[in-house]
Amino acid sequence: MARQQKHFDTRFTLALLHPRLWGTWLAIFILFLFGILPAAIRDPITRLLAKLVMRVATKPINIATINIRKCFPALTDAEVARLVEQNVEAFVLTLLSQAELLFRSDAHIRRRVQLHGLNHVNAAREAGHPIIFIMPHVWPLEYAGLRVNMEIPMVTMAKAHRNSLFNWLSNRLRSSQGGRVYMREAGIRALISELKNDNSFFYLPDEDLGPDQSVFAPFFSTQKATLPVVGRLAKAGNAKVMAVRIGYDKKARVFNATISAPIDPDTIVTKEDESIVLNQIVEQVINAYPEQYMWFLKILKTRPPGEVEFY
């Protein structure tokens, strides 16, 4: 595989019909049913199901609670609990809605995801630049990625799932607008190559990838290990860097995705400066829709030397 393109194969194979995957097929059928339901019917159902998730997902909820308390120590216990509840609701709503991205029309997706700030993208494209979009792990991430991919050529990178059927489905979804999904093993070189071929991509800077090559930088009221590679990627690929935020409007029943103006390249020259800027961007995206961030992730797992682990 070392000499091959390390991207996911989204072609259907008979192996995906193996009996051990029938349970997954049932789950996909259920998600399909929810995906074709009108949001006016689906949204109230998801709020009811979220109450069930609150009762059974004790470990993820504990992680979310720790993260929120470390980031927002001024919040009361009641405020933290309420934010966790809203976060679970956002998770369930996005999970049960997401099939519409694969099974509904492009016109439907355009209606569901209102895209703002496209003028920044157009200006960069007219000047001959691909774009590195900066977006942390938020529940409607796939909505933002596919909606932007409807406007410009995109690639992305993802971690393989253990379940081969879910792996196939999720990457079919991510590539449904003509994009290509790389495996993590492809590395930075694959992304640089795509940038040079005028393909843009989303970079998620908030995942904790351990102490190797990471830099600790302020993150809300704590410190976070951040991997500063965006500056090098942008320079090598002649790319502009833009932040993206997205959140669900419950009243209008649409997702609002907003692309910000390009980041000043002079602010991300050194690894230390870049780590600070990336964390500031993540903070801004989270503050826009705090209930829709993936607080269940162990984003604060790596701690500075001498500091007690959080989880």
The torsion angles phi and psi of 244, rounded to 5 degrees, stand at -130, 135
Q: Kindly indicate the confidence band of residue 227, based on its pLDDT and cuts at 50, 70 and 90.
A: very high
Kindly give the pairing relationship between strand 240-249 and strand 215-219: unpaired
User: How confident is residue 251, by pLDDT bands cut at 50, 70 and 90?
Assistant: very high
- Inform me whether the pLDDT recorded for 1 exceeds 70: no
- Token readout for 289 is 């829709």
Going from the C-alpha of 65 to that of each of 60, 138, 311, the distances in angstroms are 9, 16, 11
Closest CA to 34 of 90, 93, 88: 93
Give the rounded percent of residues in the chain with a pLDDT score beyond 70: 98
Q: How many residues are there in the chain?
A: 311
Least confident of 25-34, 173-182, 230-239, 265-274: 173-182
**pLDDT above 80 for 2:** no
- What distance in Å separates the CA atoms of residue 242 and residue 131, rounded to the nearest whole number? 7
pLDDT of 152 above 70: yes
Q: Is the model's pLDDT at 231 over the cut of 90?
A: yes
Taking all residues of the chain, what is their mean pLDDT, rounded to a whole number? 93
119/244 Cα distance (integer angstroms): 13
The predicted model scores a pTM of 0.92
Q: Is 302 helix (H, G, I), strand (E, B) or coil?
A: coil
Give the pLDDT score at 263.
96
Instruction: From 138, 153, 298, 290, select the one nearest 204 (Cα to Cα).
Output: 138
- Which residues is 156 bridged to in the sheet? 181
Write down the pLDDT at residue 5.
55
Q: Which residues pair with 226 in a beta bridge?
A: 215
Asked if pLDDT for residue 30 goes beyond 80, the answer is: yes
pLDDT at 184 over 80: no
270 with 243: CB under 8 angstroms?
no
Residue 121 has a pLDDT of 97
Tens-digit pLDDT profile for residues 73-119: 999 999 999 999 999 999 999 999 999 999 999 999 999 999 999 99
What pLDDT band is residue 128 in, cutting at 50, 70 and 90? Answer: very high
